[in-house]
Structure 1
Amino acid sequence: MGFSLKLADFAGVWQIDREIRGFDGKLHGEFSGQAVFSEVSSGLSYVEAGTLLSNGTRMQAERRYLWRGAPQERKIDVRFDDGRAFHEIDLATPEHAPQARHFCDPDTYVVTYDFRNWPEWVARWRVTGPRKSYVMVSRYSRAD
């Protein structure tokens, strides 16, 4: 299998289905919503909105990021919406499940991306530390 992805391939509307499970068995959450990747001067604006059901409580949830890329580097620089660095996605070999790490003192976030079934893809987060301890799996599929 050999394919290449670039930042522009993510533009558009995506359906998200997410499951969150605590390692201690106490946390269980499900999220359903959409992520919209819109062009901005510095890359793509990522706006995610939907419904989160967590341990029996239903609420509206939203998050925002900025995805920036450099075609020659084959990487996506993911930033928080305030511009702080979050992590990088290495698209040089997307079939090899790129990984990234983010340390948010005192917890560590490790993400593995799976693009093998593009345009469906998965982001699998493993969060460990004294404050947080869970796995979050987000499945994306085209909605537009």
Structure 2
Amino acid sequence: MRLRLSDFAGEWTLAREIAQPGTGLARFEGRVCFTPDGTGLAYHETGTLTLPGAAPMRAERAYLWREEGAEIVVLFSDGRPFHRFDPAMPAAHHWCDPDDYRVRYDFAAWPDWRAEWRVTGPRKDYVMRSRYRRG
């Protein structure tokens, strides 16, 4: 199966774990909506973030997803480039000086899918694993 941008449209549940050495495990539980915006899809996630030793808090983020040929292009909500990937070879990176962001998507159990970010650098060091489920 060849995934296209339109395959992501709609509502998803999202469960995320963020592991940072020495600080414990943070968790995010929420929803993601991919909404057509005339040029592609607008990604908007909302939910509850729980950091170790802290009260749960509301959190959200937004991106723009676009299709260019076989690739999906992910932009920050203000249109700046973030990363791009081919769903058939779903790995990408983003350099945010001085930190390195690397993602690997897993679509093997579609429509359930996963994303794993490994972020390293002098300011950041964590692994973020997200699981998306339709509905």
TM-score bracket, normalised by the shorter chain, equals over 0.9
SS at match of 1:9: helix
Cα separation, 1, equivalents of 2:22 and 2:71: 35
Aligned match for 2:98, one of 106, 113, 117: 106
CA deviations 1:42-74 (Å, max 9, x no partner) are 10000000000011321100000000003xx21
Aligned to 1:124: 116
Cα separation, 1, equivalents of 2:72 and 2:46: 22
What letter is aligned with 2:75? R
CA deviations 1:75-110 (Å, max 9, x no partner) are 11100000000000212x2xx5x1100011111100
1:42 and 2:43 aligned: no
Cα separation, 2, equivalents of 1:81 and 1:26: 29
Aligned match for 2:52, one of 55, 65, 77: 55
Q: After the TM superposition, which parts of structure 1 deviate over 4 Å for at least 4 consecutive aligned residues?
A: none
Cα separation, 1, equivalents of 2:24 and 2:127: 10
Give, in angstroms, the shift of residue 27 of structure 1.
Answer: 3.9
Give unmatched runs, 5+ long, in structure 1: none
What letter is aligned with 1:31? F
Within a 5 Å distance, the mapping from 1:71-110 to structure 2 comes to: 73-91=69-87, 93=88, 96=89, 98-110=90-102
What letter is aligned with 2:133? S
TM normalised by structure 2 equals 0.96
Cα separation, 2, equivalents of 1:112 and 1:89: 9
Give, in angstroms, the shift of residue 41 of structure 1.
Answer: 1.0
In the comparison of the two structures, how many residue pairs are matched?
A: 134
Identity %: 52
Cα separation, 1, equivalents of 2:98 and 2:74: 21
CA RMSD of aligned residues (A): 0.9
Aligned to 2:26: 29
What letter is aligned with 1:79? L
Give unmatched runs, 5+ long, in structure 2: none
